[in-house]
Structure 1
Amino acid sequence: MVGLADGLEVDLPGRWGAVHCLQRVDSTNRRLLESSTLVPDRYEVCVAREQTAGHGRRGRAWLSSPDASLTFSVARALSPDEAVDPALSLAVGVGVARGLERCGFSGFGFKWPNDLVTEDGAKLAGVLVEARAVREDRLPALVVGVGLNRVGAHTLGVDRRVADLSQLPGPAEAALSDLLRAVLVEVVRAWDDFARSGLALVANDHARLDHLRGRRITVLDTGEEGIAAGIDHGNGALLLQRPDGLKRLYSGEISVRVLGDD
């Protein structure tokens, strides 16, 4: 994408490594997981017009066709004292939301632990965090993948409700390059903030965007029901208010659904 690397450097100087803009790739996450040039203090980027084997949480396929979705990954190596924290997906989700708001979009929220959804619960975007273990020739690293539906979500033929940017209040036409630049910058800012302060610096925006809070939800894995009571911003756990007290749910492989969001 012409000028993307220069634009990112203008917006957030000194934070970028290589920026790969590809026509087609199996998976932007996989491309960066295999990168030999990741370092701790700069973010490497891979953007693709089309992904052929993109996936989300639990291995679910992320379907995309050329330019219908915004699909990219961001990665950096871990510093020696830096741990892998699954709550990063919450910070990155807030970063994606901030980028969309910078471009003039509204009418969406964040669904714990890693999705952006419309006000009626249709999936707009997803975040996937993957880790790379240390190898002889490569540092341990984290890769964050983002898939965002721009147009044509109704044609995907998936077994869940989905939406795209054309259905949100906002600009009728948002240039792909402007959208990508805004979202990438805000994702990296949120990641930097998370590395320094955990969820503290995204807590207010997360509370504002929280799609689940106050709604009756069910935990799909166990059948438990309760009222979502927000997020523990110390560790990223979802708070579930039940008759027998407050329970904390940790992301892992747990999925939740708002009752009535079919």
Structure 2
Amino acid sequence: MPYTDLDRPPLSEAALNRALVRPGGVWTGITVVPRTGSTNADLAQAVRGGGKEGQVLIAEAQAAGRGRLGRSWVSPPRSGLAISMVLRPDVPVARHGWLPLLVGLAAATAVRRLGEIDVRLKWPNDLLVDERKLAGVLAERVDSCVVIGIGLNVTLRPDELPVPTATSLAIEEAACVDREPLAKAILRDIEETYRDWIAADGDADASGLRAACLAATATIGRDIRVELPGERMLIGRATGIDSSGQLLVTTADGREHSLSAGDVVHVRPAPAT
């Protein structure tokens, strides 16, 4: 049976702006649209047209939502949260690699608090529940800004999932599957974490970001198989995240490799031996 507006009510743009936009805050305006191709693409275009930091765009449905490396992200209308935002961090560019992890950590923290489920990070950009993908994060540099989008599965049924390895808050029987409080909590947590990171000049240790990410990341301490461009493969143990947000992987020969998100096609559990 298809969902109705009672099951999947629309978001209130006015309520989100009242709750999240304030003088001196990071968020300068929340726009909710019924449908678009890609919220990230729309905000990238806005930035090129002079858009400023703090713009947030939420779509009730996306026809061409994107993940990393051009992967698609599609879900039924009002079944999830597709949120993109413009950030312009005044920190060294070398530290911008932390932004996807920062947004992922804040979103996981908010969802864990409201949903009362154990949400973990998968480096560099996924949120997982028991190894099933709940959300993805995509960051793109546009001029001097970074456009970051997050797509969260909220009320998708098993037959609506894009892939069998995905999940939703409804499937996980989360305590909260109401998109409006979830959106408010996610954006509030992103703002708080972002401001702490900016105040520390993007230093992930001084701001506590690295410690929090390490504690929340399911990848660290596991044997993994990293698929690299050109059908190359790296198998080793994920041992940490460096000061730039890169994943540290130690291979069987004892060599340590630093991998940026742009270096990686997939990160998967290593095959059993």
- Fold shared, TM-score > 0.5 on shorter chain: yes
Equivalent residue number for residue 3 of structure 1 = 15
The 10-residue stretch of structure 1 (56-65 or 173-182) with the greater mean CA deviation from structure 2 = 173-182
SS class of match (1:223): strand
Tell me, in whole angstroms, the C-alpha distance in 1 between the residues paired with 2:93 and 2:245.
Answer: 15
Runs of 4+ that moved beyond 6 A: none
Quick one: which of 135, 139, 155 aligns to 1:129?
139
Look up the equivalent residue of 2:132 and give its one-letter code.
A
1:198-229 per-position Cα deviation (integer Å, ceiling 9, x unaligned): 32222222122111122211012222211111
Where in structure 1 are there 5+ consecutive unaligned residues?
A: 134-139
| TM-align CA RMSD | 2.3
Between Structure 1 and Structure 2, how many residues are aligned?
Answer: 248
Structure 2 gap segments, 5+ residues each: 1-11
Residue type of the alignment partner of 2:252? P
Residue identity matched to 1:243: A
Q: Please say if residues 58 and 253 of structure 1, whose CA atoms lie closer than 8 Å, have aligned partners that are also in contact.
A: no
Task: Call closer, same or farther: CA 1:235–1:19 in 2, change over 3 Å.
Answer: same
Q: 1:124 to 1:146 in 2, by over 3 A?
A: same
The equivalent residue for 1:38 is 51
* Matched-pair contact (CA < 8 Å) for 2:80–2:179: no
Instruction: Give, in whole Å, the separation in 2 of the partners of 1:65 and 1:104.
Output: 21
Question: Does the alignment pair 1:175 with 2:178?
Answer: yes
Q: Does 1:144 align with 2:154?
A: no
What one-letter code is carried by the residue in structure 2 that aligns with 1:244?
D
Q: Partner of 1:184 in structure 2? A: 187
Q: Is the 8 A contact 1:108 1:118 kept in 2?
A: yes
Q: Which of 227, 235, 239 is the equivalent residue of 1:220?
A: 227
Looking at structure 2, the residues matched to 117 and 99 of structure 1 have their Cα atoms a distance apart, in angstroms, of 14
Select 1:248's aligned residue among 246, 249, 258.
258
How far did residue 82 of structure 1 move? 5.3
The amino acid of 1:111's aligned partner reads: K
Partners of 2:270 and 2:119 in 1: how far apart? 18
Amino acid at match of 1:236: G
Letter of the structure 1 residue corresponding to residue 249 of structure 2: L
Q: Percent identity?
A: 29
Listed as ranges, the matches of 1:1-262 within 5 Å are 1=12, 2-9=14-21, 14-35=25-46, 36=49, 38-39=51-52, 42-77=53-88, 83=93, 85-119=96-130, 121-133=131-143, 140-152=144-156, 154-156=158-160, 158-159=162-163, 161-168=165-172, 170-171=174-175, 173-195=176-198, 196-200=201-205, 201-221=208-228, 222-232=232-242, 234-245=243-254, 246-254=256-264, 255-259=266-270
* Cα 1:157/1:179, change in 2 over 3 Å: closer
- Per-residue deviation, residues 13-63 of structure 1 (Å, max 9, x unmatched): 532212111111111111111224533xx4110011101111010000001
- 2:156 touches 2:168 (CA, 8 Å); kept in 1? yes
CA distance in 2, matches of 1:258, 1:109: 15
CA contact (8 A) 1:153 1:162 kept: no
Change (3 A) 1:175 1:157: closer
